[in-house]
Structure 1
Amino acid sequence: MADLSDLPMEDTYHPEVDIENLEDYVPGGYHPTLIGDTFSSGRYTIVHKLGFGGYSTIWLAWDKQRLRYVSLKILTARASSDSHEGDVLHYLVKGNLTHPGKRFIPPLLDQFRFHGPNGYHQCLVGKPAGGSVAKSKEDSTNLMFPLDAARSIAAQLLLGLSYLHANGICHGDLHLRNFLLRIPDLDGLSIPELYQRFGKPFEVPIRRVDGKPGEPHAPPYAIYPMSLSTPANEVDNPEIIISDYGTSFIISQTPSPTICTPALYSPPEDFFNEPITQPTAADVWTLGVNLYEVLGERPLFETFAWDRDDIIAEMINTLGQPPMRWWNSWVKRSEFFKEDGSWVADFRRISTPVFRRLRQRLWDMGRGEMEQMCEWDVTGGELSALEDLLRAMMAFEPADRPTVDQLLRSEYMLKWALPAWERQKRQERQE
């Protein structure tokens, strides 16, 4: 007899694309939020939607006390019960005001809790931000930022991570969808002017498969996020916000931390189930993988369906053989590599593996594959300096990875990335 528990659950709602998972409008899930809803005794009024994630929806609201637009991040009731995100952000607010990386961390303006039909929800109030680096790249014609803009973003990300680590915080979930582009100040716009510039909220009815009403657990309609993304190839002066601290933690207060980074960006110690004893080193690896994608057009590790063994193989393909304890314990190693470390040519696999070390992958980033046509400052040594930076960040052994502050003193940062950020700031001051 079949085990019915193994059968897939039928959907309650007709699915919609580009909005939150409607199946999580249940007790413990998302709060049913509509345009015009008010929170915190009428202080905040919802005027549009900014985005959503697996455990929150993010809304644009008007703060009638401060007379400005703010973002409201409403966590699911399930996530609200044990979330430390507000504590982490509050902790970061008190950090060194003079640190150059503080400006890349979202300020926490307010936080409160409220009860709705799906339970108690935590709400974090901050400054509105724009689309993610990932969305900006997806919307572009060439999947890339202009070179100097990309260099500037690289500098900003390292400066922001330096601020986090200086305050004893491990982010634990660094990826391109958590890097947001700052948007121009919206506060000078009335709500009609806001709608005229960015479009009115676009609503789609939420329909149950069985035809029954979804309320009170689900709203009558879902709302698409407002369009705040700029195609990467059109971005001249990007400023980054490192967002989403739902899985971040204070290192000194977390004796057995876990990393929640998507597999494509996770450090190798996580793949081989070793304890995360050096959380900041895990962040450094993760940011290194991200920087390759920020600076070029493609991910560093390209795999089928983010299979974990494929990712390990790509790591080794790119960076060389890992420590012997991992090499010898990798169960599926023989599917990818011979004993001497050369590829196994298995044409039954989805794609035939191509041997590409890190240096070759730098030439494959979309900036030009020949020195004469390359955007990089090849003659000045930029490509070599970038290789040194990424190789240091992605050292297999966590103890061998430099600190963020050491990386900020690397040749690539000092000669190319930080100067690009300084040029951007000077240009903004002149405008």
Structure 2
Amino acid sequence: MLKRRFVPCVFDEVENVEDYQPGGFHPMRIGDKFDNGRYRILHKLGNGGSSTIWLARDEHSSESGVGKLVTIKALRADASKINSPELVVPTLMPSSESFDFYRKVEDNFAVNGPNGTHMFIVYAFAGPSVRAISKSPENRRLRADLARKIAAQASSALQRIHHAGFIHGDFTTSNFLFRLTDDVHKWSDDEVYFQLESPETDAVQMLNGQPIGPQVPSEVTEAIDSFIFFENDLLQESIVVVDFGQSYAASEPPKDYKPRTMINYMSPETRFEGRVGPESDVWTLGCAIFEIRAGFPLFDPFFPSDAVILTKIVGTLGRLPDPWWNVFKNRHLFEEDGRPKTNGIAVTPSIRELLQSIGTRDEILDSDGGSMFEQTETRIDGTEVDLLVDLLEKMLRYRPEDRIGVDEVVNHSWFKV
């Protein structure tokens, strides 16, 4: 393990400052300009393991007298590739005026910095991810009709991806972003900071008291609170699918493919064999549909280790098939038929029991959080539970060849409740 160099940041939702090193993140601050001054950084939208994501203004465009607001994804140097599928795959997807559920690249350019050469990718400005809802400590969830609508859009998007001959590879709620209302795209800088609050920063300091080097920004910026968008009704009831960085043509799977899906979304064949295909996309979509409707992950990653997640999966879905069962490290907690031992772990609720529990343990909140959310203590009726259980159990079968395909998902009766 590398020795820690920096004083820990006061913010929880920021990138790891230790990753500002050769091959890592590019040091950035509010007000920085890129691509010969074209893009000016206004605020921080988020970060991931391979990138930081920023709100910027395109000074070379003009909408209502001001430059267009855009999202810039600044990739780590060691994740920057000229032929990245994130750049290539969206351009090969079929376009249609009646179907626009995936976000395309608007621009890209390279930035040379102290940590290497970084690919910057420019997209239209979009809102927070669906996953942001399940990360809320207040246990909110979308209205029932809206949850089915968003799940239907995600399913249709995956259907188009598969029909076009591609595997997405990371089809999770982190990569479903809400669209913004039209007025947001017309904001001035002052309106951005009034509506989304001014950026909060924390100075970067070395543990040894020495000055920081050029590889590190002088301060890190906290991302915008996702719930501002919901509370102020700044979002449309529509999503776009993003992040094709793990995508590939189904006819030409890469030989050195390394799956990077979140462990609580990872299909059994991906977890045990490193295989990713249309069936594993269906598995991740099943996990996403549950999360969209329930407001929390199906296989809750509260203790995010592979062993804990897999134990939850077995507790919910039953015994793994051979040979996976024999390499499952925690099988001693279960009987050979997959039932939890009474002196082992607490019984994990089934999908049906989890859905039936929704609304029974809601917090009473001071505000409704915006028009997109369901009223607290609202239960799912029995008819919808039956249909959703039927859909999810068909999508989350262990063996990939036993799962339904995305065409059958799209046409399932649950979406029509």
TM-score normalised by structure 1 residue count: 0.83
The SS at the match of 1:238 is: strand
CA drift of 1:329 comes to 4.3
Cα-to-partner distance string for 1:39-59 (whole Å, 9 max, x where unaligned): 112211112221111111111
Q: What percent of counterpart residues are identical?
A: 33
- The answer on 1:104 being equivalent to 2:101 is yes
Paired residues, number: 394
Give 1:8-407 correspondences, 5 Å limit.
Answer: 9-17=3-11, 18-67=13-62, 68-81=68-81, 84-88=84-88, 91-98=89-96, 102-139=99-136, 141-185=138-182, 186-230=184-228, 238-256=237-255, 257-271=257-271, 273-276=272-275, 279-302=277-300, 305-333=303-331, 335-346=332-343, 352-366=345-359, 375-378=379-382, 381-407=383-409
Evaluate the alpha carbon distance shift between residue 242 and residue 140 of structure 1 in structure 2; reply closer, same or farther with a 3 A threshold. Answer: farther
Per residue, is there more helix in 1 or in 2? 1
1:302 and 1:59 mapped to 2: Cα distance?
Answer: 28
Evaluate the alpha carbon distance shift between residue 172 and residue 309 of structure 1 in structure 2; reply closer, same or farther with a 3 A threshold. Answer: same
Evaluate the alpha carbon distance shift between residue 32 and residue 337 of structure 1 in structure 2; reply closer, same or farther with a 3 A threshold. Answer: same
CA drift of 1:8 comes to 5.6
Cα-to-partner distance string for 1:318-355 (whole Å, 9 max, x where unaligned): 2233323323443441x2212343322335xxxx4215
1:75 and 1:339 mapped to 2: Cα distance?
Answer: 46
Evaluate the alpha carbon distance shift between residue 231 and residue 296 of structure 1 in structure 2; reply closer, same or farther with a 3 A threshold. Answer: farther
Name the counterpart of 2:371: none
- RMSD of the alignment, in Å? 2.7
The SS at the match of 1:264 is: coil
Evaluate the alpha carbon distance shift between residue 176 and residue 327 of structure 1 in structure 2; reply closer, same or farther with a 3 A threshold. Answer: same
Between stretches 224-233 and 311-320, larger displacement belongs to 224-233
Cα-to-partner distance string for 1:221-279 (whole Å, 9 max, x where unaligned): 112223343587997953222222222223323244442211111111123x2251x61
Structure 2: runs of 5 or more not aligned: 63-67, 363-376
2:321 and 2:311 mapped to 1: Cα distance?
Answer: 14
The SS at the match of 1:69 is: strand
1:133 and 1:290 mapped to 2: Cα distance?
Answer: 9
Evaluate the alpha carbon distance shift between residue 184 and residue 140 of structure 1 in structure 2; reply closer, same or farther with a 3 A threshold. Answer: farther
2:407 and 2:360 mapped to 1: Cα distance?
Answer: 28
Evaluate the alpha carbon distance shift between residue 118 and residue 258 of structure 1 in structure 2; reply closer, same or farther with a 3 A threshold. Answer: closer
Evaluate the alpha carbon distance shift between residue 299 and residue 234 of structure 1 in structure 2; reply closer, same or farther with a 3 A threshold. Answer: farther
Structure 1: runs of 5 or more not aligned: 1-6, 417-431
2:289 and 2:303 mapped to 1: Cα distance?
Answer: 21
Q: Is the 8 A contact 2:391 2:412 kept in 1?
A: yes
Evaluate the alpha carbon distance shift between residue 64 and residue 160 of structure 1 in structure 2; reply closer, same or farther with a 3 A threshold. Answer: same
Cα-to-partner distance string for 1:197-237 (whole Å, 9 max, x where unaligned): 22222222111112222231112111222334358799795
Q: Is the 8 A contact 2:312 2:348 kept in 1?
A: no
One-letter amino acid of the counterpart of residue 170, structure 2: D
Evaluate the alpha carbon distance shift between residue 192 and residue 208 of structure 1 in structure 2; reply closer, same or farther with a 3 A threshold. Answer: same
Evaluate the alpha carbon distance shift between residue 313 and residue 48 of structure 1 in structure 2; reply closer, same or farther with a 3 A threshold. Answer: closer
2:32 and 2:150 mapped to 1: Cα distance?
Answer: 36
